Amino acid sequence: MPLKSVPFDSTPRPHMNIPASIINHPAMVFLPSHSNEEDLERVLGATSHGVAVTGSAALGKVGHPIGSIDISESNDTYLFRVALPGVARDSNTFSWYVEPNGKIFIKGITTTGEKKVLKHGMVFEMLTQNLCPPGEFSISFQLPGLIDSEGVNAVFGTDGIFEGVVKKMRPQTIY
C-alpha cells in the first residue's frame, strides 16, 4: 500500500473541517481494485483537482516516471520495452542505437512538465505537474548477452512505449 494512505471505505469525509486551500489542491486517490465507478465518482467529488488510480497503478511502487524498462527473452531473441511518456517521437530529437555487446542507448527530449501549455490557440496554466520536467534525457541499459547488430528492429509507438526486438548472437560453430 502507498505511503500515507488509508483504505477507502466508500464513505467520503465531509469538507467541514478541511481548509479550502487543501480542497482546491491536487490530490491523488488510491482505490482498491474492487472499486466500482460509483465509488470513484464519490471519492473524486471530494477534490476539485483529483487524480484517481486503481489496479496496478495504485500499487504504490516507486519508479521513474520515464525510462522504466522491461526485458524478456526467447531462445534466439531479446525483447525490450521502455516507458517514454511525454517524449517527442520525431527523428530530429529522438535517437537510439545498440552496441554489439547488447548495450542500448536512447536519447531524446521530454515535452511535458511545463507550467504553461499552448494548444489549439489557447494558453493553459497547469494545475498539476506530475510528469517528467521538459528537457533532454538519456537512458542506457544492458541486454543479458551479445547480440546480432544486423537483427535489430524497434518502434516508438504512439502509446509512449519504445519496443525493440533484438536477435541474440549465434554461437560460433567450429568445423
Q: What is the pairing mode between strands 116-119 and 122-125?
A: antiparallel
pLDDT tens sequence across 136-155: 888 999 988 899 988 899 99
Query: How is the chain split among helix, strand and coil, in percent rounded to 5?
Result: 10, 40, 55
Q: Which residues, 6+ apart, have CB-to-CB distance to 38 below 8 Å?
A: none
Going by pLDDT thresholds of 50, 70 and 90, the confidence category of residue 28 is low
> What pLDDT score was predicted for residue 32?
61
What mean pLDDT do residues 85-113 have? 89
pLDDT tens sequence across 3-12: 444 454 545 5
What mean pLDDT do residues 102-122 have? 89
Nine cell digits for residue 42: 464519490
Q: Is 23 left (phi over 0), alpha (psi -120 to 50) or beta?
A: alpha
- 62 pLDDT above the threshold of 90: no
Q: Report the length, in residues, of the chain.
A: 175
- Consecutive H or E run containing 97: strand 95-98
The structural domains of the chain, with segments of one domain joined by +, span 1-62, 69-168
Q: How far apart are CA 63 and CA 60, in angstroms?
A: 9
Q: How far apart are CA 23 and CA 25, in angstroms?
A: 6
Least confident of 63-72, 108-117, 142-151, 153-162: 63-72
SS3 117: strand
Mean pLDDT highest for which of 2-11, 17-26, 80-89, 105-114? 80-89
Q: For the full predicted model, state whether its pTM sits above 0.85.
A: no
pLDDT tens sequence across 31-47: 665 666 677 667 666 66
CATH of domain 69-168: 2.60.40.790
Of 50 and 110, more confident? 110
User: How far is CA 108 from its chain centroid?
Assistant: 15
> What pLDDT score was predicted for residue 71?
93
